[in-house]
Amino acid sequence: MNTSTKPLNVLFLCTHNSARSVLAEALLNHLGKGHFKAYSAGSSPRENQKPNPLALETLTKAGISTDGLYSKSWDEFGKPDSPHMDLVITVCDNAAGEVCPYWPGQPATAHWGYADPSEVEGGEEKQREAFMQTLHQIRKRLEIFVNLPGTSLSKLSIQNTARSLSKD
């Protein structure tokens, strides 16, 4: 894969596609500078699911665009006219344990587990802090990922690198 000619497509998966996967999508699109195109989806978004308002607030406060973010099912990315994914990363333990649909092109896969910031108890301020911490944790991994040399972006290298980043 050569990111100088086309962006590397990355899909972030979670159960509801309302917090962690949305944060990761927006952040990679922000950091990727056109070399990466991020998407997000959920294994089972609720009917009329929308991104968590605190996720959108956190992104906005961090100066990251929320344009075009919406909750969607991972089924949208298994369709024939869907973008080809180069890497699929689960960001919550529920989605990591589920049977994923067939991804055309057999993309590299990895799991980066993050606690669900929307489940933090103790009021809105504690939840805001949890969302900021989650964004910070995702940023640490993505900054390493987007700064990899182009030679590290072959399918096997992507998978190995993405999986090794889960240990950080």
- The 10s digit of each residue's pLDDT in 9-61 is 999 998 889 999 999 999 999 999 889 999 999 988 888 889 999 999 999 99
The 10s digit of each residue's pLDDT in 57-95 is 999 999 999 999 999 999 888 888 889 899 999 898 665
Q: Do the Cβ atoms of 101 and 73 come closer than 8 Å?
A: no
- With residues binned 3-state (H G I as helix, E B as strand, rest as coil), the percentages for the chain, rounded to 5, are 40, 15, 45
* Spatial contact of 69 and 22, defined as CB atoms under 8 Å apart: yes
Q: What angle do CA 21, 25, 29 make, to 5 degrees?
A: 170
* CATH top-level class of 8-158: alpha beta
pLDDT at 101 over 70: no
- At 135 the pLDDT is 98
Overall average pLDDT of the 86-111 stretch:
74
From CA 65, how far away is CA 159, in angstroms rounded?
27
Residues of the chain above pLDDT 90, percent: 51
Q: Write out the DSSP string of 64-76.
A: ---TT----BGGG
The answer to whether residue 155 scores a pLDDT higher than 70 is no
